[in-house]
Structure 1
């Protein structure tokens, strides 16, 4: 809601991402795709592909991240901002970056999954602004068992205005 003479009111919003069914540490080759070993996934910081939050190995039982953000609701909808929220033409989103980790701990990205806020039901996003929590639950491997990439839309990702199931 906007105050006359001011912009929309911002509220704190915690975005929780809960990943299950990780692909493993080895990604076999496929059509047009070379294989990789020591696969890991993390959340990419805005405009900094080499800066990742919560790097998890590809064979972990699950992966969880919590992002400190703000949300502003106005007549146009909800705008989410934060250090891990990308803002490109076409909207705001979060990148889950997949890569390999070498013996020196250097991460080299080979693909990304994109969680786009425009794909969230507007009622869920509005409820999230009110609750202060927005949770995405998704499998992190695709139908072939490789790291999930590209834009991930419902029903492959389930969005809710709740705190995580497992803190």
Structure 2
């Protein structure tokens, strides 16, 4: 099954300083590979109009619902998620991660998950700017994300 992530409303190329937060410039977002902070897929600048990623996953029926796995799927069964990692990119192309958003699989409606499994594709649509104008972080569940088959 393919997991397609379609993101809009990116926060811009800088994240201003705040309480206990130094601020960052030249920010980018990417999908983080399981077990590898440096394993990034599809690095997009924070001021891009949109960002899109396509992840190949395996969907397995279980007694408690559909479980997904794959190189970019994190977590244990029943608590799977995909990390969108935010970082500052330096002049040499190095990525200094400072924040992550967790797209939570357990928030997908079971009927949507089953339809997506049958179709071979599920799409997650979300905006990547939080209420304060910063890069979206923490666990992301509806209504902040829309899942569709």
1:54-69 aligned within 5 A: 54-69=42-57
2:106 partner SS:
helix
Out of 40, 45, 64, the residue aligned to residue 76 of structure 1 is 64
| Cα offsets for 1:66-112 (capped at 9, x unmatched) | 00111011322111010000024861110000000000000010000
- The question of whether the paired residues in 1 share the 8 Å contact of 2:28 and 2:86 is answered with yes
TM-score, normalised to structure 2, is: 0.96
CA RMSD in angstroms comes to: 1.1
- 1:31 shift after superposition: 2.6
4+ residue segments displaced more than 6 Å: none
Larger CA Rg, structure 1 vs 2: 1
Structure 1 residues without counterparts, runs of 5 or longer: 1-12, 162-167
Out of 107, 125, 133, the residue aligned to residue 137 of structure 1 is 125
2:41 aligned with 1:41? no
Q: Which residue of 1 aligns with 2:90?
A: 102
Structure 2 residues without counterparts, runs of 5 or longer: none
Q: Number of residues paired by the alignment?
A: 149
Out of 127, 140, 148, the residue aligned to residue 136 of structure 2 is 148
- 1:144 shift after superposition: 1.1
